[in-house]
Amino acid sequence: MLEATSSARPRFVPEPEEIQPGYELALEERRVRGAPVRLFTFPGGSEDVSRTVVCLPGLGASGRSFAPMAPLAEELRLQLWTPTLRTPMTHTPLQWNVASLAHPDARLPERFALLGSSFGSLVALAFTLAYPERVKALVLVSPVASVHRVRRWALSLSTLVRMPKPFAYLFAPTVARVLGGRELPPEGRAEIVREARRISPMELLRRLRDVLDADFLGALEQVKVPTLLIHGARDHLVPLRYARDVARRIPGARLEVLRKASHLPYMSHAQSFNAFAGDFLLQHLS
C-alpha cells in the first residue's frame, strides 16, 4: 500500500496523518515475533535479492527518513526497516531488534547489507557481531558505538521530543533542528517531528537506556565485514573525533566526512551521501 500524503503546502509541524512531499513510500506491515514492524520500500525499485540493503533509522525516526536515498533504489533493493513502536518488556529494544532481524518472520535474505543511522547503527553493529555470516557489508551513519562517544546533553535534549503535549509540540521542532542541522530541508524536519511523536515516552526512554548502556568499542576489532562510516562534521550529538575513533577500531573501515552536514546526512545532504553509500554498496553487493 502507498501511504497517503496531504496536498496542502508543507508545514513545519504537520498533522499526524500528513506525509511530506518526497517521503511517500510503499508500506508493508509485517508481524515479526508477534510485534508489528513497518517496512518501507521504493515503488519500482530493484527486486534483486542479492543487492538487499536493510536500512535502520535513528532513535525516533521511521524507515521513511531514508526516502532521500530514492536514486539508489534503481540498483539496490532498499528495505527501510522501522522497529516496532512498542518493544515487549521481555527484551530491551536493542535485543528485540537484533533478534527480529534474524528471525524467519522478518523474511530477509540469508545475507544482506546493513545501513544503520545513530540508534540504528547500534542495532547494525550488534547484529553484525552476533551474526557476521549474514552481513555482506556495513554502512554506519553517525555511529553510536559507546555512550562514551555521545554527548549526554544532546541525549537529554532528545528526550524533550517525548514530553506530553503541549511541551512536545513546543520542543520537538528545536530537537529536529539540532539533529538535522541548518541545511535539513523543511520537509525533512517535519518528517522527523511527525514520526517522533508516534512513539510513547516509555519506549523512547527504553531506547535511550540502550544507548546509555552501550559500549561496543572493545568489540569493534571483531567486525570483519567491509565497513563504511559516513559522518557529518557538524554533528552535535556524536562528534567527528569519535567517528574517527570508531573507524580506526574496525579493520579496514573507511570514513567519509560531509563537512556541512549534521546528524542526519542522508536527509540534509542526500546527493553526497548517496554517492558515497551507493558506490560502496554496489562494490560489495555486485
State pLDDT tens for residues 56-86. 998 878 999 999 999 999 999 999 999 888 8
Pairing assessment for the beta strands 227-232 and 35-41 based on DSSP bridges: unpaired
pLDDT in tens, 265-275: 999 999 999 99
DSSP conformational letter for 29: E
pLDDT value for 14: 41
Burial of residue 8 (number of CB atoms within 10 Å: 0-12, 13-18, 19+): exposed
Lowest mean pLDDT, pick from 163-172, 210-219, 255-264: 163-172
Helices (H), 159-269: 167-180, 186-196, 201-213, 240-249, 265-268
pLDDT value for 284: 96
Q: d(Cα 109, Cα 116) in Å, to the nearest integer?
A: 17
What's 26-65+73-82+94-285's CATH class? alpha beta
pLDDT value for 168: 47
Pairing assessment for the beta strands 227-232 and 112-117 based on DSSP bridges: unpaired
Contacts of 81 (CB under 8 A, 6+ apart): 37, 39, 54, 55, 56, 57, 63, 101
Cell of 125: 553493529
- By the 8 A CB rule, do 136 and 54 touch? no
- Listed by start position, the domains of the chain span 26-65+73-82+94-285
Q: Mean pLDDT score of the chain, rounded to an integer?
A: 85
Q: Is the peptide bond before 166 cis (omega within 30 degrees of 0)?
A: yes
- By the 8 A CB rule, do 170 and 56 touch? no
Task: Quickly state the pLDDT bin for 12 (edges 50, 70, 90).
Answer: very low
Mean pLDDT of 186-197: 85
Mean pLDDT of 205-210: 81
Contacts of 100 (CB under 8 A, 6+ apart): 32, 33, 35, 37, 83, 84, 106
